[in-house]
Chain A
Amino acid sequence: MGIETEYGVLQPGRPLANPMLLSSQVVTTYRAISTRAEGTGGKARWDYDDEDPLQDARGFHLDRASAQPSMLTDDPARPAPSGPVTGQVPVVEPGLPGRNRRRSGPTQEVERPAAEEYDDPSAANVILTNGARLYVDHAHPEYSSPEVMSPEDIVRWDVAGERVMLAALRELAGFPGSEVVLYKNNVDGKGASYGTHENYLVDRALPFTTLAELITPFLVTRQVFTGSGRVGLGATSGTAGYQISQRADYIEAEIGLETTLRRPIVNTRDEPHADRQRWRRLHLILGDANLMEVPTYLKTGTTSLVLWVLEHLDELAEAGVDARAELDALRLASPVSDVQKVSRDLALTAPLDLADGRTMTALEVQGEVADVVRRSLKVLGTDAESDAVLDRWTSVLERLGTDPGSCAREVEWIAKMRLLDRLRSRDNLEWDHPRLHAMDLQWSDVRPERGIYHRLLAKGAVDRIVDEESVARAVQHPPTDTRAYFRGEVMARYGSQISAASWDSVIFDVDGSQALQRVPMLDPTRGTRRHIGALLDASPDAATLLAGLSGRR
């Protein structure tokens, strides 16, 4: 799994500064820092060859001409505009030119482009030595974590992304007129929203419609522990108040392909970045950016457990747990409006109408799902990691029901609300007071000296999942147990000989070789340290590595 975050970007005192340019400066500045530190001339581009944001998991392909221009994110020559563009006629594209490939064992030969490829600043892109991708998405700098195997590692490499953003910010602060401030949030309070997307590798044997139907009640209600809290109600904060989730007011559909408009609870983009015979990638766009670590841990950990149950429905039925029927019984009568309803239910007592006529609160829905997961693990076998997620999940749900204040170290919307409530009563402020809005925005400032979350962190007022030392390592180094290991390590070792990379490929440009060499990585579980570490250590240069790769399998 992986997590991608678009950061809010601001130039202090210059509200009209071009956000695409600022974002581009963040990315190119970080590239300069890492090049300086490692002495490698990494200028690798993103390899868009296997990307297809218009392939729908429900089994059809959206015509490029029918797509909103903001959805066309796979063509660096034409950066996708930010959000829906009104009055613009979509351009008919002949399709991206596929590169001419010839297979030769585990690597493919790719024709070298005749001319130097055009370096568009709005397509700024860096593949980091930790396996992550740092780039400009629409008008925001985005950090996409490397692929990891556990919720603890998601937290580690997600927080590493915050430190990457901070490093770029610090460097830019040294150039008067170029200062930027970065915010790990999802709304500006004036109608714009930018995402924090989660990605889960799911067995292709699970039909997509089954997945979407059975996971929706869980996704709608998980915000009770994943929400990071927001001052203001409505997409443009038309009504004063506080709500649980940053993202809730921007979710407008139950299911769909779009990510920039009519945003859905379950996104159907079918771009597995892996062997599509075996896997799909569930792309979730409804989650909040979290500064606190427990929400990120629980969000990804519990979602993974529910997906694991969905992948094993038949085995579970044979073992006596009818998870399919039990989860189906939780289907909501109106899931889209329930996203907003739950987000406004600060008392956590609002009844939601189920499709079968019953009502349940969000906490009760979560309790039921957690119980299905607990019994499923019991009959099919569990492990320490799953137990740890389940225990924390159950504990937080119980305490949210009896004493929500006791979750202030673990649940972000409660930690934020605790401060806002006290500030309101101390200074006698109404919910529309700018100080409360400012506190909400500054909560997510990535600078330790200015970010309000960081003040709580420094005071030891929040629980952590990972320690700062391991985060510092994760800024530089990839996880060792996924293909991100290969991507990160080759960037660190042979960066100057890499022409492009993507989630499922690395293209080498080795001196003296006529063609470029493309190494496909369609299996996310290969290219690990166990698989390839010895060969890397024995390869002083990329040519040796490629020769070694050709000699195996």
Chain B
Amino acid sequence: MAGQERINPSQEDRTPDDDAETPAPAAAAAQKDDDEVDALLEEIDEVLETNAESFVRGFVQKGGQ
């Protein structure tokens, strides 16, 4: 059926200028990712059980299927 061929944007399609415009994009992306995760963690700190140890110890289930 038509449309089955996957089109992969390959490295050859990129001109050198694309890379030159954004120096060290990987490092910038990693920093952005860390900031995003830190923001999430700050919010999660507020919902995490205050007594993690007793919460974990008390989480006991019966086996199921």
Contacts and interface: CB of A to CB of B under 8 A. Distances in A.
B33 A419 contact: no
Given A438-B49, A455-B44, A139 B61 contact: yes
B-side interface mostly:
helix
A79 interface: no
Contacts of B44: 419, 439, 452, 455
A20 B61 CA distance: 10
Contacts of B55: 434, 438, 441
B53 interface: yes
B23 interface: no
A442 B48 CA distance: 7
Interface residues of A, number: 56
Interface string A181-196: 0000001111111110
Contact of B63 (A9, A192, A394): A192
A526 interface: no
A378 B4 contact: yes
A435 B45 CA distance: 10
A422 B43 CA distance: 13
B63 A381 contact: no
B21 interface: no
Interface string A417-438: 0110011001000000111011
A405 B59 contact: no
Contacts of B36: 461
A19 interface: yes
A193 B63 contact: yes
A387 B38 CA distance: 36
A29 interface: no
A435 B52 contact: yes
A189 B56 CA distance: 9
Contacts, number: 127
Given A455-B47, A456-B40, A438 B62 contact: no
A260 interface: yes
A226 B4 CA distance: 25
B64 A434 contact: no
A423 B41 contact: yes
B58 to A, nearest CB: 4
A193 B64 CA distance: 6
B65 A260 contact: yes
B8 to A, nearest CB: 9
Contacts of B53: 434
24 contacts: A10-B58, A138-B63, A188-B59, A188-B61, A191-B63, A192-B60, A194-B64, A195-B64, A260-B64, A378-B4, A381-B1, A387-B3, A394-B6, A418-B37, A419-B44, A434-B53, A435-B48, A438-B48, A438-B49, A441-B55, A449-B47, A455-B47, A459-B43, A461-B40
Interface of B: 1, 3-4, 6, 33-34, 36-41, 43-44, 47-49, 52-53, 55-65
Interface of A: 6, 8-10, 13, 15, 19-20, 82-83, 137-140, 187-195, 197, 259-260, 285, 374, 377-378, 381-382, 387, 391, 394, 405, 418-419, 422-423, 426, 433-435, 437-439, 441-442, 449-450, 452, 455-456, 459, 461
Nearest first, the 8 A-B pairs at minimum CB distance are A194-B64, A83-B63, A139-B62, A438-B52, A188-B61, A15-B58, A434-B52, A259-B65
